Amino acid sequence: MSLVADEKKSTAEYRSERPAWMEKPRTVTRVAKALALALTVAVVVVPFWVVIATSFAPGQQLIDNGGWALWPQEWKLDAYTSALSNGTTTRALFVSLGVTVVGTAFSLVSTVFLAYALARPGVVGGKPVMLLILFTFLFPPGMIPSYLVVYSLGMVDTYWSLFLPVMVNVFNLVVVRGFFQGIPDELYEAARLDGAGELRTLFTIVLPLSKAVIAVVGLFYAVGYWNDFFRGVMYLTDTSMYPLQTVLRGYVSQGDGLNQGLTDEGTLAQAPQAMKMAIVVIATVPILCAYPFIQRYFTKGVLTGAVKS
């Protein structure tokens, strides 16, 4: 028993030892790393906290402090009430939610089917199609050709223009394809021996094993659709169809937003800086709420899918 215990102890000690080429960190090094980490966290957290505090601060405090607040003297919801009661922000919020949900669903279905087809050996035209897809990744189309294509398809001033032109992302496609290629060939052969077709193999074997990469790619798509403002400016002329990020961009960059039809005089009567920060918080919180549920899939999904191309 003692020999077994000693062997386990020596194994544990061996595993805990640092490699021979790696020096033991000194106290100064540890302190420097801790300070660097604390500084990085502060650089990220402090501006976001200032945005939140400003959105809740009363108007007089913002006027006295030059438009910003580090801690509200009184926590008020006036900015959020005004932002959500004028109709424009609320409508834009629902537009962004709809585009994000529908666009992510379309993108995931298209990416999964295309990646599965390109991952299987012997597909007719598989290599030329893959090269064509990679070519679009290296040489993306310009703004004017993209607009002409969308215009020729009659999608200008429609919600389709907000997600159909970018429905398949090449990077996400390559990641999913690499993940599918990493699945053992024995599973595909066993499915064929059982008489399963390609669709049945995809839904019963491949997809259950690919939850991690699908979750990560789905989050990438959702964040992309939610944060996009440029396509709203480029393809939509009706401001009532604007998604939330386009409204936020117009309101923050234009200041008053009256030229864009994004606010009204009742809204401008409130503290404008608090209104801006409230819309920023409204536009940021949904993604922050979704991220913790997907975070645990990041390492497994991205690294495993990127090992094989």
Residue-wise pLDDT tens digits, 275-297: 888 888 888 888 787 777 766 66
Give Cβ neighbours of residue 143 (< 8 Å, ≥ 6 apart). 234
Going by pLDDT thresholds of 50, 70 and 90, the confidence category of residue 83 is confident
Q: What is the pLDDT of residue 67?
A: 77
- Dist. CA 112–CA 198, nearest whole Å: 13
Task: Catalogue all structural domains in the chain, each as residue range(s) with its CATH number.
Answer: 2-75 (no CATH), 82-307 (1.10.3720.10)
pLDDT at 102 over 90: yes
173 Rama class: left (phi>0) / alpha (psi -120 to 50) / beta:
alpha
Between 17 and 111, the more confident residue is: 111
pLDDT at 38 over 90: yes
Q: What is the pLDDT of residue 173?
A: 92
- Dist. CA 35–CA 55, nearest whole Å: 30
Between 239 and 21, the more confident residue is: 239
Q: What is the pLDDT of residue 109?
A: 94
Residue-wise pLDDT tens digits, 133-171: 888 888 888 888 888 999 999 999 999 999 998 899 999
What predicted TM-score, i.e. pTM, was given to this entire model?
A: 0.76
Q: Are 285 and 73 in contact (CB under 8 A)?
A: no
Q: Looking at residues 206-231, what average pLDDT do you find? A: 88
Q: What is the pLDDT of residue 259?
A: 38
Mean pLDDT of the chain: 80
Going by pLDDT thresholds of 50, 70 and 90, the confidence category of residue 66 is confident
Q: What is the pLDDT of residue 255?
A: 54
Q: What is the pLDDT of residue 95?
A: 92
Q: What is the pLDDT of residue 260?
A: 40
- Dist. CA 284–CA 270, nearest whole Å: 21
pLDDT at 99 over 50: yes
* Residue in 111, 118, 213, 105 with CA at minimum distance from that of residue 169: 111
Going by pLDDT thresholds of 50, 70 and 90, the confidence category of residue 16 is low
